[in-house]
Amino acid sequence: MDDCIFCKIIKGEIPSTKVYEDGRVYAFMDINPIAKGHTLIIPKTHAGNLWEIAPEDLSAVHSAAKTIAGALQKALDAEGVACLQLNGRAVGQVVMHYHLHLVPRVKGAPELPISHWDLKPGDMKEIQSVAMKIAAEIQ
């Protein structure tokens, strides 16, 4: 897609710091890292989000995530790796080309802002009624 930043990165029109590439996938360092090693994995074929991406590309991105998460563990001595993927401006997606964030937490680093929140028990009736609506859409 012509006006997509990540398509331009894949084409080499915008510079990036590559860590991995295969036939379907490109992975590079985020320029605004929220932790050391923050990596983005994208499909080479443009898709805006999880609703649009082809299953083969989705699978390729997440297989690459397994490989790259292993590399983060070894290269940075990461004790954990958070995988984050946003769909839609309402939940903070800024670049409208599917991307999976891999954010490692290395030994001694502060807790990641994306991986902890307060647990408050929900209303079980509401949880069950919402689940029924979702499940009905999957049939």
Name the residues that contact ligand 5GP, by CB under 6 A: 5, 14, 16, 28-32, 86, 92-95
Q: Which is nearer to ligand 5GP, 30 or 52 (by Cβ)?
A: 30
Q: Is 6 among the residues that bind Zn ion (CB under 5 A)?
A: yes
Does 95 contact Zn ion by CB under 5 A?
Answer: no
Nearer to ligand 5GP, 12 or 92 (CB): 92
Number of H helices and number of E strands within the chain?
3, 5
Residues annotated catalytic, as ranges: 99
Give min distance, CB of 79 to Zn ion, in A. 33
Angle at 113 between CA 108 and CA 116, to 5 degrees: 90
Three-state SS string across 33-57, please? CCCCCCEEEEECCCCCCCCCCCHHH
The one among 16, 28, 35, 46 contacting Zn ion by CB under 5 A: 46
Residue at 111: amino acid letter? E
Is 109 among the residues that bind Zn ion (CB under 5 A)?
Answer: no
Only segment of 22-30, 43-51, 74-82, 83-91 that touches Zn ion (CB under 5 A)? 43-51
Closest-by-Cβ residue to ligand 5GP is: 32
Q: 3-state SS of 1-20?
A: CCCCHHHHHHHCCCCCCEEE
Nearest to 37 by CA among 75, 6, 2, 10: 75
